[in-house]
Amino acid sequence: MAAITSDVQVEVRRPRRSVIIGVLLVVWVAAYFLLSGIDTLPLGGQETTGFHRWLTENRDFVGQGNVFFDAIRTAVDHLVVLLQDLVSRPSFGRPVPVVGWLGVVAISAYLAWAFGNWKVALLTAAGLAFVGLQGLWQESMDTLALTIAAVLLSLLVAIPLGIWAGLSNRAFKVATLILDLMQTLPTFVYLAPLTLFFAIGPAAATIATLIYAAPPAVRLTAHAIRSVPPESVEASRSLGSTRGQTLTKVLLPMSRSTVVVGINQTIMAALSMVTVAALIDAPGLGQTVLKALQTLDVGVAFNAGLAIVVIAIVLDRVTTAAGDRPWRTASVRRKVVLGAGAIGVLVAVWFSRTYVWAAEFPSEVGIGSRIAVITADVTAWVQDVFGGFTYGVRDAVTKGVLNPLEALLTGSPWWLVGAVVVTLAAILGRWKAAVPAVVCIGLLVATGVWQDSMITLASTLLATVVVVAVGLALGVWAGRNRRVDLAIRPILDAGQTMPPFVYLVPFLALFGTSRFTAIAAAVVYAVPVTTKIVADGIKAVPVATVEAANSVGSSNWQVISKVQLPVARRAITLAVNQGLIYVLAMVVVGGLVGAGALGYDVAAGFAQSELYGKGLAAGLAIVLLGVLLDRITQAAAPKPHGKGDKQ
């Protein structure tokens, strides 16, 4: 009897976690009806707190006149100006850049050929010619110059740090903690604090891009070095090689492909950040998109967004080809052909320095205005034909789901929301998740933008639910069907190369300026990464486990729900985590197209000097939301070796 009693106690000792969470939510809703409107900490769009005003008044105290920050700002400015002088603007007393459009196209195509193949070279030449035909050559070159400057500086810092983290276990643990935090922060977050130290302009934009783009290179370089077989390292040392020789002759050569992938990801991140950095006066295509979004000019925004996509595709394909091709072991014939091609490039550069037609991209053959007009006409047609449906969907989701969720978050007392969040964190991850939740909630209240934070959180949660549903469906389908995986994988990869600004344009045409526009863009932005992680998790389920389920007569749905999804739970939790972070990033950027809340606060802080402190506080609130969501979703992940919660 004792054994039976003991067994019964084990069964009822801990109810399912999902049941506890359900009860918590019901209690919250009930408390909302009783306490609605109490301690909600409202703050109008133009209103500020004492903390905001203090930040505004002391903005110049931090960086202005500081020799260290001034030296960094000056050095970075000189690098950006040098690159702009080379390819984008009149310089050295000449009415044209040092290298005109023909020289830039020739050099770029040659490098793509040298590091890749003739197909990549052709794509590069065609892509650059296309952005010139769009009438956006100078803006594209400004974007490219800023991206190159940021990538060079990022790699100068990231590669040594990655090597250090790859060689030292202690450095690897510290780097992992810092990189995890950095990669949870949306792009907006990096802008406001850096303007304190480096003022608004290209230098602050470049440094923000450097910081945002460095983590992939650090992480993948460390991973590559730590993945080199120990036997290779031991063989090198047994032959008397020093640590430096082992690094340069064994570790780095064997890590080259993975390091190049890290460089590729750094370039993509840099291009994404450079466009968003238009908010702090970064030159280039981002300025064109930003001004078009502010004036709701979908045609111009689409034309500039298309140019950004083309540049992203070119940079992605060139760096990917460089990682795939063993270009260092080229044949003699290829080296001879490359030498002849180099002569052709020099001739093209000479032409671009000598003749105006080869220096300034011909404006009479531009197609950009035609693309903008066609896009505007198509937008008007779509709104006339489908406007009733798209606007109906927008209004139905907004009124039926978003508004009630937002009311629950903004209408509940702040301490009630905080108590629910901390309790949820404790249920999922005990004190390790509850303590960060307490800190984040307390600091969110201190920022003075609590209500805007809750509005942003409501949009983020709604978009995340859709992202997870779509990502799970597509990920399971792709993980179980190789043909589907091969078909959608290129689309997903392409989706991850596009900067956030680009996603706003088509949804602005479909849904107008609204919170739903940002949510729809966030869903499309976050689905690719979620789908890929889920698909990889499903594919990693042991074949023997699936075959065992099939052998006992399980249906496809039973195999998916009872075997593959439970086994792939860690991957699914990671997919939810990454989906949340991507959604938060896009919802914040959506502040530019009517989403309001924290994104608008940050943008307004750059546009209106008296709101700078509020914008900086909003940036801090975005960080806190990102950390809070990241900690809670990571706490929900099952522990390795089956040490998760028993249910």
For residue 330, the model assigns a pLDDT of 63
Q: Is 435 left (phi over 0), alpha (psi -120 to 50) or beta?
A: alpha
Decide if 631 contacts 433 (C-beta within 8 A).
Answer: yes
- 425 assigned to some structural domain: yes
Mean pLDDT per 10-residue interval, the chain, length 647 residues: 46 68 90 90 84 81 68 87 87 83 91 85 92 89 90 90 87 83 74 77 86 86 82 78 77 78 84 83 85 82 87 84 61 79 89 86 81 86 83 91 93 93 88 88 92 92 92 90 85 74 80 87 89 87 83 83 85 84 84 81 82 87 87 72 42
The pTM of the full predicted model, rounded to 2 decimals, is 0.80
Decide if 309 contacts 272 (C-beta within 8 A).
Answer: no
* CA 101-105-109 angle, 5° bins: 170
- Among candidates 164, 512, 151, 160, which has minimal Cα distance to 311? 151
For residue 402, the model assigns a pLDDT of 92
Integer Cα distance of 111 and 120 in angstroms: 10
- 634 assigned to some structural domain: yes
- 516 assigned to some structural domain: yes
For residue 105, the model assigns a pLDDT of 92
- 351 assigned to some structural domain: no
CA distances from 149 to 75, 115, 270, 493 (A): 11, 20, 10, 25
- 241 assigned to some structural domain: no
- Among candidates 191, 185, 302, 301, which has minimal Cα distance to 607? 191
Through-space distance between the first and last CA atoms of the chain, rounded to whole angstroms? 24
DSSP code, position 362 = P
Q: Is 196 left (phi over 0), alpha (psi -120 to 50) or beta?
A: alpha
Integer Cα distance of 414 and 40 in angstroms: 6
Decide if 410 contacts 601 (C-beta within 8 A).
Answer: no
Structural domain span for residue 622: 19-34+44-57+367-647
For residue 461, the model assigns a pLDDT of 92
- 621 assigned to some structural domain: yes
For residue 642, the model assigns a pLDDT of 43
- 295 assigned to some structural domain: no
- Among candidates 142, 139, 136, which has minimal Cα distance to 205? 142
Q: How many domains does the chain have?
A: 1
- 119 assigned to some structural domain: no
The CATH number assigned to the domain holding 451 equals 1.10.3720.10
